[in-house]
Structure 1
Amino acid sequence: MRVIVQRHIRHILADVEAAIPPDGKRDYFRLHRDRFAMLLAAIPPDAGSCALEIGVNPGLFTQALVRAGYCVCGTDLFPEHRAELWRRLGVEVRRWNIDTEPPPYPPESFDLIIFSEVIEHLANPPIDALATMRELLVPGGYLLISTPNQFYLKSRLRVLADILLLRPFEHDDEFQHWANLKAEARYYTHSRLYSMRQICWMLDQAGLVVQQRIYGDPWERVGLEWSRLLRHPHRWLGKALLWGATRAIPPARSMLLIVAQRPGVRRRPGRT
């Protein structure tokens, strides 16, 4: 049984940040640090130690899992982009386009699957992909999903502003970026967002049992460091008001985090 306490999580993430090279992903880490912390905290204590992370690039959360003591494998559309990092971490990363390819690992290979900020990028409806992940888990294994919340207050306020100002919901620069995407580059943009009810319904359809539903606020916290108050007071106050509002109304927070379980009696995973 593995319990990751908050103090341990802080140390894990501090170690990951310290290892980022100067030309690495420091801004990305700062933006996603609270998401990483919430994912680690949500892993059930009886989840076992064999984990699969789907969509590993750029590898920062992969490093956190390794430092937390998990035996990690990964999948990605472009595993070659961080080949040296995977070698250094001792993490096997195989290519997998979830929409079009069979899984690169056999059934019942993992105790735990991390599927974070990926489901909103899939081009096809995700139920089949979720059912495939169920098969990759051992009986009793866990699937952790995080994804942006369709009901995020900031997004709803933006829609309201677009209506009042007679603007399109999708701004021209966003549309042009999407229209120029080719082949697998389309996975760099969101296909759609989901509500908590929709995600939980799809998990049920895929044969998984939802054990925990969490409304997370990692994006609201970004930019609320006290050092920024004097430099950008109006922006800081706006962010603080948004964070306060979503603290009071959890379903309006920025992230959905769901823990689901494959039914059955747990046994050790076998993998080839």
Structure 2
Amino acid sequence: MSMDHALQAALNDIQARFPFRDYIGPSVGLEMDAIVRELGRVFPEGFQGKRLLDIGCGPMDKTGVLQRMGFSCSGVDDLGDPWHRRGDNLARIRRFATDLGIEFFLQEAGSTTIPFPTGSFDVVCLLGVIEHLHESPRLVLNAAGQFLKPGGVVVVEMPNSVNLRKRLSMLAGRSSLPPVDQFYHSIGPWRGHVREYTLDETVFICRTNGFEILTATTFEPFAAEKLKPPFRQVYQLLGRCFRSLQSMLLVVGRRPAGWQPAAADEEAFRRAIAHGVPAGIA
């Protein structure tokens, strides 16, 4: 079976099994297409027998697709979004994981504990995770590297902070940040996007953490779902002509032999904040 047919079969199966109707829209299929294609280049022999850890896996819709593609998947998340805990949703998510054979660990709120053996995964995914962090991405990238086998890969996917929609919003005098009413009415620590990144910035954080960059690209999963003709075609054409305008970014990095976690570097931090600050202050 071709990769395209296998992915479509996996998506169809997960859509049928997933406990929340209409959660998995067309954009998820396009996201998974981009991710699976890049992983296919890393593992041309196929995914069977490869172990994958999905950090911040959420309700495991994407984890489920990867499981159906042949990976042996583990997931970790605190499932702390309000809807995760509404009614019996948490139990339904856990049953979904169990039925698919996904090894899932539910973290305590605020915990960074991940109870899997270090150096035991071929792939660690950070899909829509880094933009939510209130602290340096160094910490979660260190965790990814520690759980990878030598030669394993980290997959980082997140919104492109300078995509066309955001640029148009700012030109129209609107914020490119999450809606202010969501932030104002939020309860407890903010769980929305804290800092989004450009493609170059994402390459920087991965490379600075010691990963060898295999792929750095953007893609457009949302235009087909959210825009109607002719705006859809214009949006997609602009994205093909200017890749920095596309909605999502994807970086794949390999853990090289001898990789070590990145340590906090006070001197590097001092130099970074010194830009534009009068001498003698930073």
Could you tell me which residue of structure 2 aligns to residue 229 of structure 1?
none
Could you tell me which residue of structure 1 aligns to residue 32 of structure 2?
36
Q: Is the 8 A contact 2:53 2:73 kept in 1?
A: yes
Q: Is the 8 A contact 2:18 2:96 kept in 1?
A: no
TM-score scaled by length of structure 2: 0.78
| Partner of residue 15 from structure 1, selected from 13, 16, 41 | 13
1:124 aligns with 2:135: yes
Q: What is the DSSP-based 3-state SS (H/G/I as helix, E as strand, rest coil) of the residue aligned with 1:183?
A: coil
TM-score scaled by length of structure 1: 0.80
Q: Is the 8 A contact 2:52 2:74 kept in 1?
A: yes
| Partner of residue 160 from structure 2, selected from 142, 149, 164 | 149
Deviation sequence 1:191-244 (CA, Å, 0-9, x none): 0110111111111221111111111111122246xxxxxxxxxx4322221111
Structure 2 CA distance for aligned equivalents of residues 52 and 141 of structure 1? 11
Q: Is the 8 A contact 1:130 1:203 kept in 2?
A: yes
| Partner of residue 105 from structure 1, selected from 112, 116, 121 | 116
1:70 aligns with 2:71: yes
Could you tell me which residue of structure 2 aligns to residue 227 of structure 1?
none
Q: 1:127: Cα distance to partner? A: 1.3
Deviates more, 1:88-97 or 1:37-46: 88-97
Deviates more, 1:197-206 or 1:40-49: 40-49
Write the letter of the residue equivalent to 2:188: A
Structure 2 CA distance for aligned equivalents of residues 197 and 28 of structure 1? 29
Unaligned runs of 5+ in 2: 81-89, 259-282
Could you tell me which residue of structure 2 aligns to residue 236 of structure 1?
229
Q: 1:168: Cα distance to partner? A: 5.5
Q: 1:98: Cα distance to partner? A: 9.9
Distance 1:99 1:264, change over 3 A: farther
Could you tell me which residue of structure 2 aligns to residue 89 of structure 1?
100
Structure 1 CA distance for aligned equivalents of residues 143 and 77 of structure 2? 16
Q: Which has the higher contact order (CA 8 A, sep 6+)?
A: 1
Write the letter of the residue equivalent to 1:243: Q
Q: 1:55: Cα distance to partner? A: 2.0
Could you tell me which residue of structure 2 aligns to residue 26 of structure 1?
22
Unaligned runs of 5+ in 1: 225-234, 266-272
Write the letter of the residue equivalent to 1:75: V
Write the letter of the residue equivalent to 2:234: L
Q: What is the DSSP-based 3-state SS (H/G/I as helix, E as strand, rest coil) of the residue aligned with 1:73?
A: strand
Structure 1 CA distance for aligned equivalents of residues 52 and 170 of structure 2? 38
Q: 1:256: Cα distance to partner? A: 0.5
Q: What is the DSSP-based 3-state SS (H/G/I as helix, E as strand, rest coil) of the residue aligned with 2:115?
A: coil
Higher helix share: 1
Q: What is the DSSP-based 3-state SS (H/G/I as helix, E as strand, rest coil) of the residue aligned with 2:24?
A: helix
Could you tell me which residue of structure 1 aligns to residue 205 of structure 2?
202
Structure 2 CA distance for aligned equivalents of residues 136 and 73 of structure 1? 12
**Correspondence 1:132-143 to 2 at 5 A:** 132-143=143-154
Could you tell me which residue of structure 1 aligns to residue 269 of structure 2?
none
What value does the CA root-mean-square deviation take over the aligned residues? 2.5
Q: What is the DSSP-based 3-state SS (H/G/I as helix, E as strand, rest coil) of the residue aligned with 2:25?
A: helix
Residue identity over aligned pairs, in percent, reads 23
Structure 1 CA distance for aligned equivalents of residues 149 and 75 of structure 2? 17
Q: 1:50: Cα distance to partner? A: 0.4
Could you tell me which residue of structure 2 aligns to residue 5 of structure 1?
3
Q: Is the 8 A contact 1:6 1:41 kept in 2?
A: no
1:260 aligns with 2:253: yes
- Equivalences, count: 243
Structure 2 CA distance for aligned equivalents of residues 4 and 112 of structure 1? 21
Q: What is the DSSP-based 3-state SS (H/G/I as helix, E as strand, rest coil) of the residue aligned with 1:218?
A: coil
Could you tell me which residue of structure 2 aligns to residue 248 of structure 1?
241
